[in-house]
Amino acid sequence: MSEVKWGWNKTRSIFAAVVVSAAVAGMATTTMAGTRTQSAEDLKAMVEQLKQTVQTLEQKMAVMQENQTAADKAIQDVANQESKSNLLLPENTTMKLYGYAKLDAMWTDSDGGGKFAYTPSAVYLDSEEDAHPDNAFLMHARQTRLGFATSTDTPYGKFNTKIEGDFYGAGGNEVYSNSWGFRLRRAYGQLGNFLIGQEWSTFVDLAAYPETIDFGGAVGSLFIRQSMIRYTQGFEGGSFQFAIENPESNFESMGTTIASSNETLPDVIARVNIDPGFGHYSVVGMLRQMSYDDGINDDDQLGYALSLNAVVPVYGKDNIHFEANYGTALGRYLTAGFQDAFVDPVTGDIETNDQWGGLVSYQHFWTDNLRSTLVYSLAERDNDMQYVTDTAEKRYQSVHANLMWSPVPRVDVGVEYIWGYRELENGEDGDMNRVQAGFQFNF
């Protein structure tokens, strides 16, 4: 019974008791006063009148109780409906929904270089240009992103989760409704010092990324997300990270790419982040096992890679970004997309090769909401093996130059020029010019 109903019942009982008590007291007083003139008929009439008064009061209270019951039911119906439409979270848990909608519009002086984002290996060589259209224009919204994150207080610290995706997945086309497949980007749980799930590789320092409209990014930068178990320990002015991550190898043999998935060891990565109060810096090291087995020949080799990153403030809000990567196992970790190593077509042995890449960028703020970024990047590998074909990819270069405007918070509008260069081992080369506009609406 609700408090309101209980209150009405209590009021009714008290009021009736008061009325009856008053009547009895009145009759007793009249008798004690010696009023002998009141007849038995008068007393009977008074009692009947009191009964009718009590009955009338009870009827009114019953109507009021019915009205209150209907009101209680309406309130409960609204509460039930709200509970159906609201997301119920565990105790001490908060959740946020985030992401953005983005439209990219691009014009390229050829239809090479990657359709939806700059892809270094897709730049046409000068010798191929006559076989392809001269110009291409495209608009798409595939970079649109959606994610949610939760945070829960526990005796062991914050328990965080994150799931995020975008629309660069498989499927879809531009003929029917421009729909595209949703794909997983990040999915992990984090408790205390441990992160377990899929996240940006520990080898990648996102803080060193320069701002570009193009989703492909600079050719010499690192770009990979994968499953991992990561431990992070903070210290004054920085943090240390250690992770084991998913291994995957791909090789090149006589111009053909060969994938392998029979690694027996995870990729092992250690990183030190330094945040002294003026910029951000990091040093990263990695060891990888690369394994090959075609059923006849099999081999495995250990490779290594190093990465140095820096974000240096200049004056005002201006900054310089620097990234340098080198090793015998950069391979799939590099935006350039070189194979991890070569396989000797005769012996089946794995031959690692030196690879390097990096970038330097400068970001200038014209005003608080108007800024520009200029990025130069290079990626190259050593193909010094006798069996490597002269059409093997040797060197990539790229330039990104943009102007970004944020008219209101959470809205970024900009235009960017992209130059991409590709060179083979035999000296053949080609380049691409692209102008891209981006409209991003964050939430």
The per-residue DSSP string of 268-329 comes to EEEEEEE--SSSEEEEEEEEEEEEEE-SS-EEEEEEEEEEEEEEEE-STT-EEEEEEEEES-
Measured CA distances, 222 to 38, 209, 378, 398 (Å): 110, 9, 12, 14
- What pLDDT was estimated at residue 78? 58
DSSP state of 54: H
DSSP state of 109: S
| Euclidean distance between CA atoms 209 and 10, whole angstroms | 72
Contact 232, 195 (CB under 8 A): yes
Other Cβ atoms within 10 Å of 93 Cβ, number: 13
Give the residue among 347, 338, 296, 323 at the shortest CA–CA distance from 423. 338
**Tokens 């790419």, located at residue:** 257
pTM given for the model:
0.80
**Digits of tens for pLDDT over the chain (443 positions)?**
444 444 445 445 544 444 445 444 444 444 444 444 556 777 777 777 877 877 777 777 777 777 777 667 666 665 555 555 567 788 889 999 999 999 999 999 987 899 999 999 999 999 987 888 888 999 999 999 999 999 999 999 999 999 999 999 988 888 888 889 999 999 999 999 999 999 999 999 999 999 999 999 999 999 999 999 999 999 999 999 999 999 999 999 887 888 876 889 999 999 999 999 999 999 999 999 999 888 888 899 999 999 999 999 999 999 999 999 999 999 999 999 999 999 998 888 999 999 999 999 999 999 999 999 999 999 999 998 888 999 999 999 999 999 999 999 999 999 999 999 999 999 999 999 999 999 999 99
| Euclidean distance between CA atoms 371 and 415, whole angstroms | 11
| Euclidean distance between CA atoms 222 and 206, whole angstroms | 9
DSSP state of 220: T
Q: What are phi and psi of 159, to 5 degrees?
A: -105, 115
- What pLDDT was estimated at residue 396? 98
Q: What are phi and psi of 54, to 5 degrees?
A: -65, -40
Q: Record the tokens describing residue 297, joined without a space.
A: 């020949």
| Euclidean distance between CA atoms 403 and 383, whole angstroms | 38
- What pLDDT was estimated at residue 33? 46
295: left (phi over 0), alpha (psi -120 to 50) or beta: left
Please give the torsion angle defined by the CA atoms of residues 6, 8, 12 and 13, in that order, rounded to the nearest 10 degrees.
10
Q: Record the tokens describing residue 88, joined without a space.
A: 């119920």
Burial 361-382 (b: 16+ CB within 10 A, else e): bebeeeeeeebbbebbbbbbbe
- What pLDDT was estimated at residue 57? 73
Measured CA distances, 250 to 247, 256, 301 (Å): 10, 10, 13
- What pLDDT was estimated at residue 257? 85
| Euclidean distance between CA atoms 77 and 83, whole angstroms | 10
Other Cβ atoms within 10 Å of 187 Cβ, number: 16
Contact 223, 252 (CB under 8 A): no
Angle at alpha carbon of residue 183, lines to 179 and 188, rounded to 5°? 150
| Euclidean distance between CA atoms 71 and 83, whole angstroms | 19
Other Cβ atoms within 10 Å of 348 Cβ, number: 15
Angle at alpha carbon of residue 305, lines to 304 and 310, rounded to 5°? 160
How many residues are present in the chain? 443
Give the residue among 282, 300, 283 at the shortest CA–CA distance from 291. 300
Cβ-based neighbours of 367, under 8 Å, separated by 6 or more: none
Within 13 Å and on the Cβ side, how many CA atoms surround 380? 10
- What pLDDT was estimated at residue 76? 67
